[in-house]
Chains A and B, each alone.
Chain A
Amino acid sequence: QKEVEQNSGPLSVPEGAIASLNCTYSDRVSQSFFWYRQYSGKSPELIMSIYSNGDKEDGRFTAQLNKASQYVSLLIRDSQPSDSATYLCAVYNNAGNMLTFGGGTRLMVKP
């Protein structure tokens, strides 16, 4: 079983809709969670980090964390074609001092 799981997609949503990206992780003691966006041919860039249970909002983005269910999600409101990219969920592993990445979900926002 992979440590960080994501649906590879593609997830297709119409422009203006809410895109919901999900991620589950296996290490119960993980404390830090990150969402990165990666455009095709580019390197990952950080969108949001979340450390506590609940929601964290930043503009059109909301990260949600549920440690009991070992689940973290990213919501993108008012999706734009420019949001089309692969979204990588990353979980910080205290023991190894490393980020473990999921395989990424490809999001396609159609005009």
Chain B
Amino acid sequence: GAGVSQSPSNKVTEKGKDVELRCDPISGHTALYWYRQSLGQGLEFLIYFQGNSAPDKSGLPSDRFSAERTGGSVSTLTIQRTQQEDSAVYLCASSLSGTADTQYFGPGTRLTVL
């Protein structure tokens, strides 16, 4: 079946602009995760959804970052007033039911803030 998809694959924006990143999880997966990976670095956990709710938003780097998930499926990660330090690959993953299930990753969105 189809894997996790993300769009856009690449996004170049100017400092101060808002961007919206989209993730479409594997059908039937109730858990959805957002991570950020800076160049040459490991994965930084941002936020987790179980269904439409996000129990813990403390991983979001600042209040410029927000995320939502509607209908228990597609999720969007919004970054307002982008800064150069926001440049990274944003990865989305989904798993069947959360807990310790295997997470399957999407191809990522490479964000470049000029």
Contacts and interface: CB of A to CB of B under 8 A. Distances in A.
Interface string A26-60: 00000110100000001111100101000000000
Contacts of B98: 97
Contacts of A31: 100
B39 to A, nearest CB: 11
Interface stretch (B67-75, B80-88, B101-109): B101-109
Interface in A91-109: 92, 94, 96-104
Contacts of B35: 101
Contacts of A21: none
A74 to B, nearest CB: 16
Contacts of B104: 46
B88 to A, nearest CB: 13
A97 B50 contact: yes
Contacts of B99: 92, 97
A72 interface: no
Given A49-B102, A96-B56, A102 B42 contact: yes
A98 B102 contact: no
B42 A88 contact: yes
Interface of A: 31-32, 34, 42-46, 49, 51, 88, 92, 94, 96-104
25 contacts: A31-B100, A34-B102, A43-B105, A43-B107, A44-B43, A44-B91, A44-B105, A45-B105, A46-B104, A51-B100, A88-B42, A92-B99, A94-B100, A96-B56, A97-B48, A97-B55, A97-B98, A97-B99, A98-B45, A98-B48, A99-B45, A101-B42, A101-B43, A103-B42, A104-B42
